[in-house]
A and B are shown apart, each in its own frame.
Chain A
Amino acid sequence: MPDQSHFLSVQILGIVFSVFLSSTVFFLVKNKRIQEKYSILWFLISGFVLIISVFRDFMEWFSNFIGIYYAPSALFAILISCAYMLLLNTSISISTLKKQNKNLIQEMGLLKLKVEELEKKLRESEEKLSI
C-alpha cells in the first residue's frame, strides 16, 4: 500500500500543473500568440489533468484496470500519451505549413521572373517612345 502523503502531493502537483497550463494557454490565446483552434487540444489536456488529479478514485480504478499498481505512474503514463498526441498534432501542422510554404516560394520565384521580364519590356517600349 503506497504512502498516502505521496499520493496527496502528486494530486496537488497535478492540480497546480493543470491550472498553470490552462491559464498559460488562456493568455496565449487572448494575446493571439496561439490560434483558438490549436488551443482546444491544450485545454482538453489540462482539463483532463485536473479531473484525474481531483478524483483519485478514478486513477485507482484506471491503474488497476490497466495493471499499474502504483496509481501516480498511471497518471504520468497518461500525461506522456497526451504529450505524444500534441506532438503528432504539431507534426501534422508542420507538414501542412511546409507544403504551403513550398508553394509560396515557387510562386514568388516565378512572379519575380515575370516582373523582371515585364520591367524589361516596359523599359524597351519607353525607349522606343522617347526616340
Chain B
Amino acid sequence: MQTKILIVIPAFNEEKNISIVIEDLKTNVPGCDILVVNDCSLDNTSNVAKTKAGVRVVDLPCNLGIGGAVQTGFKYAQRNDYDYVVQVDGDGQHLAEEVPKLITEMQKYNCDMVIGSRFLDIESFKTTNIRRMGIKMFYLIYRLLIKIKVTDGTSGFRGYNKRSIAFLANNYPDDYPEPEAVILLNVNGLIIREVGVRMRERIHGRSSITPIKSLYYMTKVVMSIFFSYLRTRW
C-alpha cells in the first residue's frame, strides 16, 4: 500500500505567494495531495489556489487564525486516512524540496512529529534579533520542562504521522500554536524530532508577528506552554 501524504497550507491573504508555493510543491513532491486552508482571506487567495489542478481548497467562513486553520487540515487528514501531514506555510519561506526530509525522518525514527529547523545545521538563517531571542527562550523552556532539545520551536514547517494527526485533530492550540504544540505532544507521550532544513526569506508580505505584538505573543505562548505542561501533572 502506498503512503498517503497530505500537504496542508494554511493561508491568509497570500494571493501573491500561494501559486508559487503550490507550483513548487507540485514540481518537487508530485506524489503528495495538497490542501489549502483559506482562513477567510480578504484577497483572492482561494480563487488563485482553486485554479491549480488537483489542489483542494477549504474555505473557512470566518477567520480562525493559524491554529484553527491548521487543525482543519488535521481533521481532513484524519477523516481521509492520510499517513502523514506536512504543514507548509503559505508565504513561500518553506522549500518543497525539503519536504521529503521530514517524511524520511518520521519513517526512519518512527517519531510522531518532526520539526524543520533553521538552526540545527550549519546554514544560518537571517531573522530578527527579537525573534532569535524568543526562539532561544523557548529552547531553554523546553530543556527545563520536558528535557528535549528543540532549536526552532516557532517553525511552522512540520511533519506529523497518524498518531499526532489523530491527537491534534482534537487538541490543537488556537493563537500561536507552534511552540505550545511541542509541549502538548511531548507531555502526551508523542515523540518529537528535529531535522535541519534550509528556508527562504519570504517573497511577499510580512510576518504575522509585528514587534508590537511580540510582547503579547511571548506572554501568551509562555502561559499556554505552562498550562499545557501543568494539565498532565494534575
- A positions within 8 Å CB-CB of B: 101-102, 105-106, 108-110, 112-113, 117
* Chain B residues with CB under 8 A of A101: 62
How many of chain B's residues have a CB under 8 angstroms from any CB in A?
A: 16
Known: A106-B71, A106-B72, A106-B75. A113 touches B64 (CB 8 A): no
Q: Is the CB of B75 within 8 A of A113?
A: no
Docked pose: A113 CA to B75 CA in angstroms:
13
- In the complex, B58 has a CB within 8 A of chain A: yes
Chain B, range 37-78, C-beta contacts under 8 Å to A: 37, 56-62, 64, 68, 71-72, 75-76
- In the complex, B33 has a CB within 8 A of chain A: no
Docked pose: A113 CA to B62 CA in angstroms:
15
Tell me if B's interface is mostly helix, strand, loop or mixed.
mixed
Known: A102-B174, A105-B62, A106-B75. A113 touches B57 (CB 8 A): yes
Docked pose: A13 CA to B71 CA in angstroms:
52
Chain B, range 175-202, C-beta contacts under 8 Å to A: none
Known: A102-B64, A102-B68. A109 touches B58 (CB 8 A): yes
Q: A117 — nearest CB in chain B belongs to which residue?
A: B56
Docked pose: A102 CA to B61 CA in angstroms:
10
Q: Is the CB of A110 within 8 A of B62?
A: no
Smallest CB–CB gap between B129 and chain A, Å? 34
Q: Is the CB of B58 within 8 A of A110?
A: yes
Q: Is the CB of A105 within 8 A of B57?
A: no
* Chain A residues with CB under 8 A of B79: 110
Known: A110-B72, A110-B75, A110-B76. A105 touches B174 (CB 8 A): no
* Chain A residues with CB under 8 A of B61: 105, 108-109, 112
Smallest CB–CB gap between B39 and chain A, Å? 9
